Every structure is written in structure tokens, then in C-alpha cells.
Amino acid sequence: MATGLDVKLLRMLVAIDRHGSLTRAAEALGMTQSALSHHIKDSERRMAVEIFHRVGKRLRFSAIGEELLQAAKTVAGEIDRIEADLALFREGYGPIVRVGSGAYGCEDWLPDFICDLGRSAGRDGPRFAIEILMGGLAFPPVNAVIDGQIDIAICGGEIADRRVRAVKLFDDELVALLPSGHPLAARPYLEPADFREEVQLSYSAVAEKGFEDDRFFRPARAMPKRWLRAGDVSTIIEMVRRGLGVSILCRWAVARQVAAGGLTMKSLGRRGLATDWQAVLRAGEPRESPAGQAASLLADWWRKRLSRAPARGPRAGNRIPSRSHS
């Protein structure tokens, strides 16, 4: 029996949610608004449900519409990914594993991994290519994995969503980033109260689990004077360098810029604030799939990289090494 539920409808629901109106969604889908409206109304009639509540000229998803939307984000994303891979197969290429990392760029090491992967690929080596996607991803990047925008998200902090699984890559440390000459730079480490008169620069308006908001500031009931969203990590680093605020970021992302001068990083608390970095995949992703293999190879690559690097700084252990602690 025809239900009215088809891939075209699912893509329409995702587009309407993403663009906020029928007009903009229709433009993105390459169709007229009337054709989009007709398809939705016809689907509603055949399914005998109301996908949207119409409030004046605005559309709001109904309860069943919200359920369809969440399914559509997963299903449509998977179909788009499969169709793209099929097109590549027809052109003689292997499957593509799409990797993203949200606000943190991985330009310091991800290209090295891809080059090493290419050099090691032989008759029995991996038969896939890696595509790096950074801009326009759902935030946090875990959502981009769930929605099917990417296959692997490089994430720090705590991953508690059952829809994904994580493969650990390396240990790291959250550090305070200050401009050189800042009054706090003379201290051996910083406590939450030290930030009470500071402008705290952040790349997200949403507090991420496992980072400074819930592990450093909130337990001490001490907050910075003001939070300021400043886009991606590279922008934050330059704003700190120019004295426009301070920030808390992962050591691996700022160590090179600190070594270049103009910046100082300090540990948070006497013992520091450790965090893990992980490759995050969809929970049902088979370990033998291209994405599953890529995550395992990436973890192995990090283990080998860290085993060759000299341990430096407090709690160096298995953490990514740093050049300087001041």
C-alpha cells in the first residue's frame, strides 16, 4: 500500500528545516514552491497525517512531522552518501570517507595521516579515499555524523550520545590561552576565580560536555565577566594575540602558535584538566566498513606518532607533546 513516504519527501523535510521556509527550501532543491507544497500536501493526504501545523504563513512541524524529520535527517543523509559513492565507483574511484572536526581545524596533522595512508596503500591496503569537510557542518560535529553529513568527526570532550561510538585517538589537555604580557601569565597555573574579570572567547554559544564550562567553571561557581562567541579556533587565537580576550582551548590546537610567539598558555588547576580526542562514528557503523577501517587506522597512526615523540610537560604520558608550557 502506498504510504506517501518516499525519499523525495524526506529530502524536502530536511531542506525545509535547514532553510526555514518553503521558498528557500524549494530554491535549494531546484524546484518551484508550488511543486514543493503540492508534494507535501499529497504525502499528507496519502499518509493521513498532518506533517506541518500552518500558523498564518508559517509552517511548524507537528509531533509526527518532528518524528519524520529526525528519521529524514538520518535516512536522506545516508542515501546522499551512498549515491555519491556510487558515482565515484562508476568513475573508477573507491568509496569516500568524509572527516570533519567542527571549530577545531586538523590542518596540523590530518593531511599527514592522509599522505601516510596513501603511501602505505598497496594490494592489501585500504581501498578508500578521505575527504576533509570543515565548513557548514552541524554543531556539535557529532550531529554531523548522526545526520550523515560526515562519516567521522574528530571530537574532544565527553561523548555520551548512544547514536554514535568513539575510537580514542590521543590524550590532551585543556589550557588557558593568554596574550603575552597578560597579568595572569606570571602564575604557574590558573583557577576559575582568575577569570572573573576576563572576557572569555569561545567558538560556540552551546556549552559542550567535557569542556571548561561543566568541568572548570561550574563546579567552582565562578564564571568569566563575559562570554564572547568568536567563530572558529584560528579566529580566537588571533583575537587573544591582539589582547581582545582570553580563551580555553586544547593544547594540541594552540601549541604551534604559542611557540611562534605573542601567546602564553597555562594549565587549569594544579593538576591540569585532561581531555580525550576521539574519532566518532555512527553507532551501527561496521568495523570493517571504510569509515570503521579509517577510524582504526587513524588510532594506530596516532599511537605510532606518539611513540616516536619525546614526552614533555606535566602528565606527558600518552598526551600529544607540547613545545612549551609558558
Burial 40-66 (b: 16+ CB within 10 A, else e): beebbeebebebbeeeeeebebeeebe
* Claim to verify: residue 124 and residue 82 sit in the same structural domain: no
pLDDT of residue 321 exceeding 50: no
Residue 121 — very low, low, confident or very high, per pLDDT cuts 50/70/90?
Answer: low
Q: For the chain, what is the domain count?
A: 2
Residue of 323 and 187 predicted with greater confidence: 187
Residue 202 within a domain = yes
Mean pLDDT is lowest, of 60-74, 75-89, 214-228, 271-285, for 75-89
C-alpha pair distances (Å), 104 with each of 1, 21, 28, 69, 287: 48, 31, 28, 28, 25
Q: Which amino acid is at 4?
A: G
Residue 181 within a domain = yes
For 3-23, the pLDDT digits (tens) are: 567 888 888 998 998 888 888
CATH of the domain at 48: 1.10.10.10
Listed residues 59, 89, 119: the one ending a domain: 89
End-to-end CA, the chain:
68
* Claim to verify: residue 74 and residue 145 sit in the same structural domain: no
Q: Are 172 and 277 in contact (CB under 8 A)?
A: yes
* Claim to verify: residue 281 and residue 194 sit in the same structural domain: yes
* Claim to verify: residue 41 and residue 157 sit in the same structural domain: no
Question: What is the rounded CA–CA span in Å between residue 26 and residue 20?
Answer: 11
Q: Report the percentage of the chain scoring pLDDT > 90.
A: 34
CATH of the domain at 325: 3.40.190.290
Residue 139 within a domain = yes
* Claim to verify: residue 46 and residue 169 sit in the same structural domain: no
Listed residues 89, 119, 135: the one ending a domain: 89
Residue 207 — very low, low, confident or very high, per pLDDT cuts 50/70/90?
Answer: low
* Claim to verify: residue 61 and residue 106 sit in the same structural domain: no
pLDDT at position 104, please? Answer: 74
* Claim to verify: residue 113 and residue 42 sit in the same structural domain: no
Containing structural domain, residue 65:
7-89
Which residues is 58 bridged to in the sheet?
55
Q: Report the percentage of the chain scoring pLDDT > 70.
A: 83
Residue 158 within a domain = yes
Residue 2 within a domain = no
Burial 262-281 (b: 16+ CB within 10 A, else e): ebbbbbbeeebbebbbbbbb
* Claim to verify: residue 114 and residue 159 sit in the same structural domain: yes
pLDDT at position 325, please? Answer: 34
Q: Quick one: cell of 94?
A: 573507491
Listed residues 46, 66, 89: the one ending a domain: 89
DSSP secondary structure of 23-70: HHHHHHHTS-HHHHHHHHHHHHHHHTS-SEEEETTEEEE-HHHHHHHH
* Claim to verify: residue 61 and residue 175 sit in the same structural domain: no
* Claim to verify: residue 297 and residue 257 sit in the same structural domain: yes
C-alpha pair distances (Å), 211 with each of 172, 294, 313: 12, 26, 21
Residue 138 within a domain = yes
Question: What is the rounded CA–CA span in Å between residue 251 and residue 248?
Answer: 9
pLDDT at position 174, please? Answer: 93
* Claim to verify: residue 322 and residue 229 sit in the same structural domain: yes
For 147-186, the pLDDT digits (tens) are: 888 999 998 878 888 999 999 999 999 999 999 999 999 9
Q: Are 134 and 100 in contact (CB under 8 A)?
A: yes
Residue 1 within a domain = no
State mean pLDDT over 121-133.
68
Residue 204 within a domain = yes
81: CB partners within 8 A, 6+ apart: 98, 148, 151
* Claim to verify: residue 186 and residue 323 sit in the same structural domain: yes
DSSP helix/strand/coil, 199: strand
For 27-75, the pLDDT digits (tens) are: 988 999 999 989 998 888 888 889 988 777 778 899 999 989 888 887 8
